[in-house]
Amino acid sequence: MNLPQTPLSDERAPAIEAQKLHKCFKDFTALQEVSFEVYPGEIVGLLGPNGAGKTTTLRILAGLLSPTSGKAAICGHDLSHDPQAARSELGFTSGGTGLYLRLTALELLQTFAALYGLEDAEANAAIEDCAGRFDLNDFLSKRVQTLSSGQKQRLNLARCFLHHPKALILDEPTAALDVIASHGLHQQIRRAKSEGCAVLFSTHILSEAETLCDRLVLLLGGRVLDEGTPADLCARHDVPHLTALFLKAAQLLTEQPEPLP
Amino acid sequence: MNRRAFLQFKAIYRKELLEALRDTMSLFFMIGLPLIFYPLIAVLGLLGYNQIADHAQSGTPAKIAVMGEIAPLMKAELEAQFELVPLEPSEDPCAQAQQALQAKTYAAIAAFDQPPCGLKPDAENDPYNNASPDESADERAPLGTLQIWFDGSRESSSEAARLLEEQANAGQRALTAQTLKDHQIDPQWSRPYAQVRVNLATPNRMTAFLLSKILPLVLVLLCALSGYYPAIDMLAGEQERGTLETLCATPCSRFTLLLAKYAAVVTLSLIATLANLLAIALTFAATAAQLPQILQNLSLPIGSLAVSGLLLLPTAFFVSALLMLVAVFARNLKEAQNLATPAFSLCVVPAGFALLPWVSLNAGTALVPGMNITLALQAALLNQLSPLMALEVFAVQALYAFLLVQGASRLFANEEILFGQGLDVKAWLRSLLHPRAQNAPLPPSAGVLLFLLILLLTIYVAPLIPVESEALQLCLAQVIVVLAPALLVLWFYRQPFKDLGFVRPGGRALLGSLITGVGIFGLTAFIATLTFMLFPQATEETAPLQESLNEIVSETPAIATLVVLAILPAVFEEFAFRGVILRAFSSLGFGKAALISSALFALLHLSPYRLLPTFLLALTAAFVFFHTRSLFCAMIIHALQNGLVTLTAYSEALHRLTTTNLYALFGLSTLFYVGIWIVRRSGKPEREETPEI
């Protein structure tokens, strides 16, 4: 499908690309014309109330769902044409992601290393690297079911980094975490950014979005309402902070149940 | 599978096994339970048996009431076994006896010369019929009648009556001997032959026989049960725990993912089944010394058990595939269980039917999943399973498993089912009733449907067609069994008739087909002759076919014979198998479609000895159809093959040539390659026009 190319504000090619995504489930339209990009070394937050289409968007970008129309690509690989290549560049995790409880942390990492196509030697090196980076060495040989939730979260994140992904998609990663664990996660996300990784994540926590994200994409009723830096967004909509923007958007939705213009 | 896919396959397989084997509950059900279950059953069984035996030996003898006058010799015989209590008959001895038996005062009652009670026994040679009281003067029954009254609703009473009858028979013989002696005749006269029953079956065979009564069903059940939990846990369980999402976001293809999970389920199911077999064998060995007398001499038929173990492989393939197919639909364990139970019954119920005494393993029952394995296990235990039959069962199960895995992988790739709103059952049913739009390509399910229809009609309807003349029967069978279901499927899937390949072939295609047809006849005759040499028993199986062929040839004019035997089957079968079934599978690619449709065609001939020739014929027809895009060419080949076989029935010399001379046949079969070469050069298949074929 030949869609008009969105003019790029940046010279670099986007690592995560959504172009006019449209998704219908039976007779329900979940997404309409959703377009945005995430560039290498950028953190983009996907914001929106429940049912706005955040999870559907992320699932399409992770290759779990295919769009009814439109294009999703990771590092230039179209997910509908070359899903394997696209997923090779991608790390994905969601807040609800369970880990395999009866495996040890090491076995879990080994399984995922193989799934990302790493041969034994490469895999061992990658696991060693990630274990150091995410501080897993104390519990590598322990079964996942005996780990604390902070340890599980680090393991879950380490799992996405084994193959040095160029794009990272996180679906509400901090949903079930305490303050300390969230802080650890933020640090890792910033570190990934500094290494040139493109990060896209969805969240409910507005303060998190405000401090962490370079840009925000605001979803409402399956459409992109607006996008920009947190400060830009607040200025453009004449609100003091993101919470106010959010409330305004929600109000907009109730007043105007028809799709937004 | 490339290196990377293999690596991924291995990782998932290892992960699934680790997870399952570390789950205490699964492990207990898989290995622990059988190791406890069988010894427990054996110990309880032995305890029960010993108790009964002890009671029979040491317990007080059963109390038997005696009504009427008893001859001293008879009394002596009965007293040897029972405690006899004389009972004075009242006015209504029947009612009196009924009451006494109900009150359990006596185990049974021996009534001498009493009026008949209850329903008249219907057996003609019943002693009572031969000597009713009013015939008491008859010479045949000088001493009168003996009725044994018992309470059939009480086990102990029935048993007492049985013993009483035996003992009374001994009494009868003693009385006869006495009478003969009184008349100075050698008592030997009453029993001219000394009679004894001897079981000549070897202990091995006896064990095999006893095991074949129950073990096959137990094994199939166990195999199915042990695959049950892993299958639904690996798909529905992962879905429920939210781990499937991350797995699917890795660059591992869904097919690899499913295949690895499938391999893990098969492995676990086999481990569990082998654990069960081992537990049975160990229990048997441990309790052998304490077994009751009749079972004491038994020994375990290790060879048969080994074959049975091997036969469980395809069972595990099939059951695991079926359960996985079902589990893909479910979004959580509860849903999966609801769906899996009917699927589970689907393979266990036919397995149960297999134990009926009149059901035996043949080419037809070999096609019924569940039943075929049970029957094959039974035959294997009795050492009656021919290698070809085993092969057929194996092939059939493997084919079904393959189709199921294909289906499961299709569903697994369907995002609506995994991450969408789930399968819309109503929409699905609606689409079944009003199938797809016109011109939509025929789906593989259409091929499976037609195969099943033809199979069912062949097994259940074809034998019911009245046999007036063999030729007429064959015509009718072709129309009812092959043409009708093919038309039905085409109508159901709204397929336009003109797209099926009724294309006039070009000159070269025609020539190539004619030569290929003669060549394939040579090739199949070569294989058939070789088969008869290797498996002489095949002659017996194909004899009825040869007979009916000869019969048709002798009673029908030659032209009509050729129409009935060569042209009609060629036209109808090609229409159904190449026109519909091959086309239905064509979305899998020509190679796979040709292999599947040919395997189905061969299976429907219901004979393990004809599997290979019919498979080759079908494959050739498919190949020629693919290259010429004309169904007529496939029909020509099929008609030539059938027609030439028919011709051999006309000439004894020709018949001998085609059933004995391997060199001549080999020479003839070289024509096959020539024909194929010409067909291949007759033009490239134009994929644009008929993208499915």
CATH 3.40.190 fits B61-189, yes or no: yes
* Minimal C-alpha gap between B257 and chain A (Å): 10
Are A114 and A190 part of one and the same domain? no
In a domain, A261, yes or no: no
Nearest chain A residue to B420 by CA distance is A25
Residues B622 and B597 sit within 8 Å (Cβ to Cβ) = yes
Sheet hosting strand A77-78, strand order edge to edge: A28-38, A16-25, A69-74, A77-78
State whether B243 and A98 contact (CB < 8 Å): yes
Nearest chain A residue to B426 by CA distance is A26
pLDDT of B423 reads 56
| Structural domain boundaries enclosing A205 | 16-89+165-255
The confidence band for B550, taking pLDDT boundaries of 50, 70 and 90, is confident
Are A240 and A209 part of one and the same domain? yes
- Chain A residues within 8 A of B4 when measuring between CB atoms: 117
Q: Give the domain-ending residue among A164, A185, A213.
A: A164
Mutation target among A100, A103, A153, A170 for the B interface, most CBs of B within 10 A: A100
pLDDT of B123 reads 47
DSSP secondary structure string, B424-474? Answer: -HHHHHHHHHS---TTPPPPHHHHHHHHHHHHHIIIIIGGGS--S-HHHHH
Are A69 and A184 part of one and the same domain? yes
Are A28 and A118 part of one and the same domain? no
Task: Please report the number of interchain residue pairs, chain A to chain B, with beta-carbon separation below 8 angstroms.
Answer: 87
Which two structure tokens, joined as six digits, stand for B331?
A: 């979004």
- Chain A residues within 8 A of B7 when measuring between CB atoms: 114, 117, 119
In a domain, A169, yes or no: yes
Nearest chain B residue to A163 by CA distance is B250
pLDDT of B124 reads 46
How many CB atoms within 10 Å of residue B241?
A: 18
Enumerate the CATH 3.40.190 domain ranges in chain B, comma separated. Answer: 61-189
Q: How far apart are CA B214 and CA B218, in angstroms?
A: 6
Are A179 and A221 part of one and the same domain? yes
A23-55 core/surface letters (b: 16 or more CB in 10 A; e: else): beeeeebbbbebbbbbbbbbbbbbbbeeebbbb
The pLDDT profile of chain A, 261 residues, written as one tens digit per residue, is 344 444 444 457 889 999 999 888 777 888 888 999 999 999 999 988 888 888 889 988 988 888 888 999 999 898 888 888 898 999 998 766 678 888 999 999 999 999 998 988 999 999 999 898 888 899 999 999 898 888 888 888 888 889 889 999 988 887 777 788 788 888 888 988 998 999 998 887 888 888 889 999 988 888 888 888 888 888 888 888 888 888 887 777 666 554 444
Q: Establish if B427 touches chain A: CB-CB under 8 angstroms.
A: yes
- Chain B residues within 8 A of A161 when measuring between CB atoms: none
Nearest chain B residue to A117 by CA distance is B4
Closest C-alpha among B269, B284, B307, B363 to residue B603: B363
Domain count, chain A: 2
Evaluate if residue B454 carries a pLDDT over 50: yes
Q: Which of residues 212-241 of B touch A (CB under 8 A)?
A: 241
* Minimal C-alpha gap between B259 and chain A (Å): 14
Beta strands in chain A (DSSP E): 16-25, 28-38, 43-47, 69-74, 77-78, 90-94, 167-171, 198-202, 215-220, 223-228
- Chain A residues within 8 A of B19 when measuring between CB atoms: 100, 102-103
* Higher-confidence position of B655 and A210: A210
DSSP secondary structure string, A41-80? Answer: T-EEEEE--TTSSHHHHHHHHTTSS--SEEEEEETTEETT
Residues B46 and B290 sit within 8 Å (Cβ to Cβ) = yes
Q: How far apart are CA B20 and CA B586, in angstroms?
A: 38
Nearest chain A residue to B417 by CA distance is A65
Write the CATH number for A52.
3.40.50.300
Q: Give the domain-ending residue among A148, A164, A180.
A: A164
* Minimal C-alpha gap between A246 and chain B (Å): 27
As a whole number, mean pLDDT of residues B356-371 equals 82
pLDDT of B687 reads 44
As a whole number, mean pLDDT of residues B619-647 equals 89
The answer, yes or no, to whether ipTM is higher than 0.90 is no
- Chain B residues within 8 A of A116 when measuring between CB atoms: 250-251
- Chain B residues within 8 A of A87 when measuring between CB atoms: 249-251
- Chain A residues within 8 A of B420 when measuring between CB atoms: 25, 65
Q: Establish if B434 touches chain A: CB-CB under 8 angstroms.
A: no
Which two structure tokens, joined as six digits, stand for B419?
A: 């991450």
Strands A215-220 and A223-228 turn out to be antiparallel
State whether B18 and A85 contact (CB < 8 Å): no
State whether B421 and A119 contact (CB < 8 Å): no
Give the closest of A85, A96, A112 to B242, CB-based: A96
* Minimal C-alpha gap between B264 and chain A (Å): 15
pLDDT of B645 reads 84
Amino acid at B176: T
In a domain, A78, yes or no: yes
Are A137 and A240 part of one and the same domain? no
* Minimal C-alpha gap between B413 and chain A (Å): 10
DSSP secondary structure string, B640-678? Answer: HHHHHHHHHTT-HHHHHHHHH-HHHHHHHHHHHHHHHHH
State whether B251 and A115 contact (CB < 8 Å): yes
Are A45 and A72 part of one and the same domain? yes
Q: C-alpha dihedral over B424, B425, B428, B430, to 10 degrees?
A: -110
Give the closest of B15, B250, B424 to A103, CB-based: B15
Sheet hosting strand B146-150, strand order edge to edge: B83-87, B63-67, B108-112, B146-150
Q: Which of residues 401-420 of B touch A (CB under 8 A)?
A: 415-416, 418-420
Nearest chain B residue to A114 by CA distance is B8
* Minimal C-alpha gap between A93 and chain B (Å): 6
Are A131 and A177 part of one and the same domain? no
pLDDT of B292 reads 58
Q: Establish if B197 touches chain A: CB-CB under 8 angstroms.
A: no
pLDDT of B460 reads 72
State whether B245 and A110 contact (CB < 8 Å): no
Nearest chain A residue to B22 by CA distance is A102
Are A80 and A109 part of one and the same domain? no
pLDDT of B140 reads 46
- Chain B residues within 8 A of A123 when measuring between CB atoms: none
The confidence band for B141, taking pLDDT boundaries of 50, 70 and 90, is very low
Using alpha carbons, list the distances in angstroms from residue B497 to A206, B489, B493, B500.
63, 12, 11, 6
Q: How far apart are CA B372 and CA B366, in angstroms?
A: 5
User: Could you tell me where the DSSP H helices lie in B22-104?
Assistant: 24-27, 33-58, 72-79, 93-102
Mutation target among A24, A64, A106, A119 for the B interface, most CBs of B within 10 A: A64
The confidence band for B620, taking pLDDT boundaries of 50, 70 and 90, is very high
Are A170 and A67 part of one and the same domain? yes
Evaluate if residue B268 carries a pLDDT over 80: yes
Are A52 and A25 part of one and the same domain? yes
Q: Give the domain-ending residue among A142, A164, A186.
A: A164
What share of chain B has pLDDT > 70, as a percent? 87
Q: Establish if B423 touches chain A: CB-CB under 8 angstroms.
A: no
Residue B688: strand, helix, or coil:
coil
* Minimal C-alpha gap between A66 and chain B (Å): 8
Give the closest of A25, A87, A107 to B420, CB-based: A25
Are A132 and A206 part of one and the same domain? no
State whether B243 and A100 contact (CB < 8 Å): yes
Give the closest of B19, B247, B253 to A102, CB-based: B19
Residues of A with CB under 8 A from a CB of B: 25-26, 59, 62-66, 83-85, 87-88, 90, 92-94, 96-100, 102-103, 107, 110-117, 119, 143, 159
pLDDT of A44 reads 93
